A = this chain, B = another copy of it.
């Protein structure tokens, strides 16, 4: 009956417009009574977003089931993917709703409040994981907001394309941007002044570098004091090279 109510509601919203459709119209088309409607949906707005409560509950359960072995930023990205799954379950419905929400300010406000609840769920989890970290509370809020913004940017692209293409790939790419900025391993916050030297976050232990081929180098006494010569394999990851330079600069 719940699905029938949603189907009836959307048919009317698309035919007449959202504002012009009453709950009475919806229940008449679905062939049920008003009480049945309100058993499932507290208001007309809720029928537009029938799955968010379930998705929020799934997300909360997913985060609650996390352990210390889960890297926190990756975990909130994975939690955000649950929202994508909900949208991708039924692309045509999601696209219809997207178009409707853009047209009706009240629905846009409703959606903002839903997004805010997702963001709070992610931030609460991160805050817990960042307990004892300096600025843990701040970082939790900022990362949660960044994850939600990245997810929604990708989701909107997909919805604007009328649900064509692979939503997962787009969302993975967007979340990858956030993970690279805040996750582990990653270049961590650098100083804000242009001349300062960026700091790098601790990286996981590395396998030993492959030995470099023997290379003729200028004799040490011919290298001016303020010059550093770095020799690296072309294939070496750049962050590894940077780490080597950091170590060299720091050591001397």
Q: Which residues of A approach B to under 8 Å, CB–CB?
A: 74, 108-109, 112-113, 116, 135, 137-139, 141-142, 144-146, 148-150, 152-154, 173-174, 176-192, 194-198, 200, 203-204, 212-213, 215-219, 222-235, 237-239, 241-242, 245-246, 249, 252
CA distance A150 to B149 in the complex (A): 14
Inside 8 A of A145's CB, which chain B residues have their CB? 145-146, 148-149
A222 interface neighbour in B216, B237, B246, Cβ under 8 Å = B216
CA distance A176 to B249 in the complex (A): 23
CA distance A231 to B217 in the complex (A): 12
Interface centre among A145, A195, A241 (most CB of B within 10 A): A145
CA distance A196 to B236 in the complex (A): 9
Inside 8 A of A141's CB, which chain B residues have their CB? 149-150, 152-153
Q: Taking the nearest CB of chain B, how far is it from the CB of A208, in angstroms?
A: 15
Q: Taking the nearest CB of chain B, how far is it from the CB of A233, in angstroms?
A: 6
Residues A187 and B185 in contact in the complex (CB < 8 Å), given A215-B227, A227-B213, A245-B238: no
Residues A192 and B183 in contact in the complex (CB < 8 Å), given A138-B177, A146-B146, A150-B141: yes
Interface contact A216-B215, CB-CB below 8 Å = no
CA distance A142 to B178 in the complex (A): 8
CA distance A114 to B223 in the complex (A): 59
Interface contact A228-B228, CB-CB below 8 Å = no
Residues A226 and B233 in contact in the complex (CB < 8 Å), given A149-B145, A194-B204: yes
Interface contact B228-A200, CB-CB below 8 Å = no
Minimal Cβ-Cβ distance residue in B for A226: B234
A-B contact list, 23 entries, CB within 8 Å = A109-B109, A112-B112, A142-B177, A145-B149, A146-B146, A176-B191, A176-B192, A177-B189, A180-B188, A181-B189, A186-B192, A186-B198, A187-B242, A194-B204, A194-B237, A196-B237, A198-B239, A213-B227, A218-B218, A228-B234, A229-B230, A230-B230, A238-B245
